[in-house]
Structure 1
Amino acid sequence: MKKYIIYTRVSTSEQGKSGLGLEAQRRDINIFLDRFSDVPYEIIAEYQDIGSGGEDNRPELTKALALARKTGAELLVAKLDRLSRKVSFIAKIMDDKRVNLRVACMPYADKFQLHIHAALAEQERTFVSERTKAALKEAKARGVVLGGMRDPTMKRNEAAKKKADDFAQTIAPIIKSMRENNETLANIADALNKSGKPSPRGGQWTPTAVKRVIDRT
């Protein structure tokens, strides 16, 4: 009987609590199990981390990998970037002969194809980051002021709303350009974080924060 260990990951505590991203991962995993998996199969464990894909130290992934080595069950993820966004980390896992990796959205991909996909995805993220930095530099050269928008009173008054609207108008062209290039909300958030541009509240960008800017404009 085919055995699986399911691993999912979301990027922030907010996403973990709200379920953003988890529903899509579960959908892709279910499609794989229903249409592409050998039958019968058994899911022997499920693990979930809340943290960046650029971080190697994720406790639940460590547990999932240990169980995969012990049992021989396949480690099943929805997408390769749920495992990691770093080619070096993914390559290390694929080089481990005791770990059998399966990616739901690429059901027939072998290790070589997965490695190539990871490398291309990393190159794309690097390019998106550089493109965002260039766009921010151009905006600054035009005299656009890009800064944090946190209101010291933390009250949702009219002044705070106006600041949020003004901020959305300054960053919206950059986000719009990336959306026109079919970038996901998650990729846009990652690129803005890498560029050092704070979110409207002065913290890290999330897909939800990007969506709020789009909605405001």
Structure 2
Amino acid sequence: MQNIIDRILTDTMLHQGVPVLTYTIHYPNFTTTCSQASATYVNNYYNYQAKQKEDYCRNVLYQQAVEQAMYASDHQFPFNSYEFLSVYTITYNENCVTSLFTDQYTYLGGAHGDTVRDSQTWDFETGNQLKLSDYFPNSKTFTEFIISEINKQITGRENANPSTYFEDFPSLVRGNFSIESFYVTPDGIVIYYQQYDIAPFSTGIPEFFFPFKNCSPIE
């Protein structure tokens, strides 16, 4: 079992006394009854990721925000402060396995911001990440099964709420499928796509649930 402490990097950065960028980066720190060496490895992974994000905010986004603020001031335009927010969600934490996803939201002053998701499922006995194939042990072509099931789920959603997915979703589902875009819940696996991959912005991040009982299609 893993215990999780929420750690945060945050700052509001100013230019000539005006806030131009606020960032908040949440990241987990683990202790475990399984393997402390594994916990150290996982913690170093998230420490590094958080530091990389902070460096990006301070050295890239801040400069972009300053340039935009100066341009807005010179042309008497309103300026909306930039925002960067990274928040993780623990979706499974039992025995020596923990699964989570992180949504990274970036707002650059426009009509709306964009969110990018990534996820990891950790085996704290070994310190390794579990793979999607680990949950489909009886199928060599499990990705074809997943894609077929996702298309069925989308068809049902489209029948209930038309235009929530792009018209050419079957080709987009296949073309944008990522074997790393999944997380685990107590009841099954969730496969997700990024914003705009297969649906309009209004649909958000599309998710597709696979109960554990359906995760071993036998060939």
Which of the five TM-score ranges fits, normalised by the shorter chain? under 0.3
Higher share in strand: 2
Higher share in helix: 1
TM-score of the pair, normalised by structure 1: 0.24
